Chain A
Amino acid sequence: MLRTTLMSAATAALVAGTANAQTEIVLWHAMGGQLGETVNALATQFNEAQSDFAITPVYKGGYEDTLTATIAAFRAGEQPNVVQVFDAGAATIIGAEGAVIPAEDLITGAGLAFNADDYIPGVRYFYADSSDKMVGMPFNSSTPILYYNVEALNEAGVEPPVTWEQFEEIAPALVEAGYVPLAQSHSPWIMTENFHSRHNLQFATNNNGFDGADGTEILVNNDAIKTHFTKLKEWLDAGWYGYYGAGWGDNQTPFENGDVAMWLGSSASFGGLRNSTDFEFSATFLPYWESITPEPVSTFIGGAALFAMSGHDDTENAGVAAFFDFLASAETQKFWHMETGYVPITQAAYDLTKESGYYEETPQAEVGTLQLTQAAADWNKGYRMGFYVQIRDVMNREYGRIFAGETDVESAFAVIEEEGNRLLERFAQTTN
Chain B
Amino acid sequence: MEKAQFTSPWLPYLLLAPQMIIIAIFFLWPAAEAIRASFFLEDPFFGTATFVGLQNYSDAFAASDYQRTAWFTFVFVVLVSLISLGIGMMLAVSADRVLRGKGSYKTLLMWVYAIAPPVAGLIGVMLFDQHIGPLVEFVAYFGWDLQVGVDYWDTGFAMIVVATWKQVPYCFIFFLSGLQSIPTSVKEASAIDCRSETRRFWTITFPLLAPTTFFLLILNITYAMFETFGMIDQIVKDQPGNSPVTLVYKVFRDGFRGNDIGGSSAQSVILMILVLALTVAQFRLIERRIHYT
Residues of A within 8 A of B (CB): 62, 64-65, 67-68, 71, 74-75, 89, 92-93, 95-96, 98-99, 243-250, 253-254, 257, 387, 389-390, 393, 396-401, 403-404, 406, 415, 418-419, 422, 426, 429-432
Instruction: Report B's interface with A, CB cutoff 8 A.
Output: 41-47, 50, 52, 59, 62-65, 130-131, 147-152, 236-243, 253-254, 256-260, 262-263
Contacts of B46 in A (CB 8 A): 75, 96, 98-99
Return chain A residues, CB-CB under 8 Å to B253. Answer: 390, 393
Instruction: List A contacts of B52 (CB < 8 A).
Output: 429
Tell me whether A93 and B45 are in contact in the complex, defined as CB-CB below 8 angstroms, given that A390-B258, A393-B253 are known contacts: yes
Q: Report B-chain residues with C-beta under 8 Å of the C-beta of A74.
A: 45
Closest 3 pairs (CB-CB, A-B): A400-B242, A246-B241, A245-B149
Q: List the A side residues contacting B237 at CB < 8 Å.
A: 245-250
Of A247, A396, A430, which one neighbours B42 at CB under 8 angstroms? A430
Could you show 13 A-B contacts with beta carbons less than 8 Å apart?
A: A64-B258, A89-B259, A99-B46, A246-B241, A257-B131, A387-B259, A390-B254, A393-B240, A396-B239, A399-B242, A419-B63, A422-B59, A422-B62
User: Chain B contact residues: over half helix, strand or loop, or mixed?
Assistant: loop
Given contacts A404-B150, A404-B152, A429-B50, contact A246 B43 (CB under 8 A): no
- Given the interface pairs A245-B241, A415-B64, the reply to whether A390 lies near B149 with Cβ below 8 Å is no
- A interface: dominant SS: helix
Q: Which of B41, B236, B239, B243 contacts A430 (CB 8 A)?
A: B41
Q: Is the CB of B64 within 8 A of A430?
A: no
Contact B259 A92 (CB under 8 A): yes
Q: Decide: B50 and A247 in contact? CB cutoff 8 A.
A: no
Chain B residues near A65 (CB-CB < 8 A): 256
Q: How far is the CB of B250 from chain A (nearest CB, A)?
A: 9
Contacts of B243 in A (CB 8 A): 245-246, 400
Residues of B within 8 A of A393 (CB): 240-241, 253, 258
Q: What B residues does A62 contact at CB under 8 A?
A: 238
Which one of A95, A403, A404, A426 has the highest number of Cβ atoms from chain B below 10 Å of its Cβ? A426
Give the distance in Å from the alpha carbon of A248 to the alpha carbon of B256 in the complex. 21
Which B residue sits closest to A415, measured CB to CB?
B64
Who on chain B is nearest to A397 by CB? B242
Closest CB of chain B to A297's CB: distance in Å?
Answer: 28
Q: How far is the CB of A178 from chain B (nearest CB, A)?
A: 17
Contact between chains at A246 and B240 (CB < 8 Å): yes
Asked if A254 contacts B131 (CB within 8 A), the reply is yes
Of B65, B240, B242, B259, which one neighbours A67 at CB under 8 angstroms?
B259
For B49, give the chain A residue with the smallest CB separation.
A430
State whether B131 touches A430 (Cβ < 8 A).
no
User: CA of A65 to CA of B253 in the docked complex: distance in angstroms?
Assistant: 11
* CB of B118 to closest CB in A, whole Å: 13
A431 to B262 alpha-carbon distance, docked (Å):
13
Closest residue of chain B to A99, judged by CB? B45
By beta carbon, the residue of chain B nearest A428 is B41
Contact B257–A389 (Cβ < 8 Å): yes
Q: How far is the CA of A75 from the CA of B59 in the complex (A)?
A: 26
The reply to whether B149 and A250 form a contact with Cβ atoms under 8 Å apart is yes
